[in-house]
Amino acid sequence: MDNNHQTGSAGWRSPSNIALVKYWGKYGKQLPQNPSISFTLSQAFTETIVRYESLGYEQDKPLVDFYFEGKPNEAFKMRIEDFLKTNINEFSKLKELHLSIESRNSFPHSSGIASSASSMSALALCLCSIENQMTETVSNQDEFLKRASHLSRLASGSACRSVYPKVAAWGSSSSIPNSDNLFAVSLTNIHPVFDDFHDDILIVSKEEKSVSSSIGHSLMNGNIYAESRYRQAEDHTQQIYSALQNGDLRSLGKIIEDEALTLHALMMCSDPSFILMKPNTLEMISRIRRFRKNSELPVYFTLDAGPNIHLLYPDSCKNDIEGFIERDLLSLCEDGNIIKDQVGSGPIEINSFSL
Ligand code: PMV
């Protein structure tokens, strides 16, 4: 191969994830104030293919063309250029590259689902593959995913958990061996009831949220409850990890609901305060709790930084929950929108788009 003029491509499909213990508050270069744990999803994913060409000379950042769902997208291109420029020292070969990036989501862009976890992890995985191709390195899978998780984190914090199958944890915690603030780790020894656990995303609103996650994180710096929140997250991490190992759905359910409500309570007592839940979010929460009480089924909700409800339940309850959603929740979703997802097996390498 002519080292001055390398060309090639890399492609990855990478999923979104839903946090059970929430990351909310950061410091330094995208480092979390507390540990977090998430389920990796399967149906909500991004496919990204990056073609590269070595220009034979260096610049301060790579040249980037960016196409989202087949069309050039300036806003995404600027975000990616900014990420690459800020982190250029991570991967020095980038300086001499022209990258043509094409990305597609399995879910509509303005569907109320944040795409940064899937899109940034897909991009990071592609960059790691390109790095290996250009340096003719064959890294083992653990090293490769650790590096991809590290780069994903720099692009969008919670994206670092998406590179692993099923369950991942990010942030150092005394209860998780090898846990680290710099990258996520895969959690193994998880009870099989979670292998096909459901996450139905009930879209209460498709609107772009009024306060971005990065502003939300920064408002934790002045939040008077911050320190006790970080301690609570550490305790929840330990309790959830043990519930995940034992298949203890009731403990898991209690903690994930506490986590969702704490996240939104922190927003409500930031300065300035903000509210991302909508009236239908609260109505759904009360219907879910009433249904759980009457049916005694292990069905629980969580929320990310937005108004949409994630309904989590084991596969054994599928038929009952489908009926409950149809009867009691569907009418509260914007345009009847639901994305049915499940715990998934992590990213896969691709040569062409399936979307
Ligand atoms: O990764 P960010 O900066 O988009 O923040 C994600 C924050 C939450 O979704 C609310 C929690 C989490 O851990 O995913």
Of all protein residues, whose CA lies closest to atom 4 belonging to ligand 1? Answer: 213
Give mean pLDDT, residues 269-298: 97
Cα 198 to middle of ligand 1, angstroms: 20
- Cβ contacts of 106 within 8 Å, gap of 6 or more: 43, 44, 45, 46, 47, 355
Give mean pLDDT, residues 109-128: 88
Question: In sequence order, what are the beta bridge partners of 10?
Answer: 50
Give mean pLDDT, residues 102-123: 88
Q: Quick check: 121 and 45 in contact, CB under 8 A?
A: no
Q: Which helix (H) or strand (E) holds 125?
A: helix 116-135
* Cβ neighbours, 10 Å, residue 16: 34
Confidence of residue 208 (pLDDT cuts 50, 70, 90): confident
Sign for the CA dihedral angle at 194, 305, 184, 126 comes to positive
- Give how far Cα 114 sits from Cα of 32, 91, 308, 322, 332, Å: 19, 27, 11, 24, 20
| 233: Cα separation from own chain's centroid | 18
Cα 251 to middle of ligand 1, angstroms: 22
Please tell me whether residue 283 adopts helix, strand or coil conformation: helix
Which ligand 1 atom is at minimum distance from the Cα of 17? 14
Give mean pLDDT, residues 333-337: 95
Which ligand 1 atom is at minimum distance from the Cα of 158? 1
Q: Which has more confidence, 340 or 111? A: 340
pLDDT at position 1 = 44
Cα 55 to middle of ligand 1, angstroms: 36
Mutational test site, ligand 1, from 17, 21, 23, max ligand atoms within 8 Å of CB: 23
Give mean pLDDT, residues 66-91: 92
Token pair recorded at residue 150: 């590290």
Cα 304 to middle of ligand 1, angstroms: 7
Q: What percentage of the chain's residues is helix, strand, coil (to nearest 5)? A: 45, 25, 35
176-194 pLDDT per residue, tens: 999 999 999 999 999 999 9
Q: Is 3's pLDDT higher than 70?
A: no
Cα 82 to middle of ligand 1, angstroms: 20
Which ligand 1 atom is at minimum distance from the Cα of 36? 13
Share of the chain above pLDDT 70, in %: 98
CA–CA separation, 152 and 80 (whole Å): 12
Cα 23 to middle of ligand 1, angstroms: 6
Cα 211 to middle of ligand 1, angstroms: 13
Give mean pLDDT, residues 45-65: 90
243-257 pLDDT per residue, tens: 999 999 999 999 999
Q: Is 16's pLDDT higher than 80?
A: yes
- Cβ contacts of 177 within 8 Å, gap of 6 or more: none
Which ligand 1 atom is at minimum distance from the Cα of 156? 1
pLDDT at position 4 = 59
* Cβ neighbours, 10 Å, residue 43: 15
pLDDT at position 205 = 93
190-203 pLDDT per residue, tens: 999 999 999 999 99
- Give how far Cα 312 sits from Cα of 73, 204, 253, 285, Å: 34, 16, 8, 12
The binding-site residues of ligand 1, defined as CB within 6 angstroms of any ligand atom, are 19, 22-24, 36, 116, 156-158, 213-214, 263, 304-305
The mean-pLDDT minimum among 62-66, 236-240, 261-265, 286-290 falls in 62-66
Give mean pLDDT, residues 296-318: 97
Q: Which has more confidence, 221 or 90? A: 221
**DSSP type of residue 331:** G
**C-alpha closest to that of 126 among 144, 106, 105:** 144
Give mean pLDDT, residues 265-278: 97
Q: Which helix (H) or strand (E) holds 47?
A: strand 36-54
| 226: Cα separation from own chain's centroid | 22
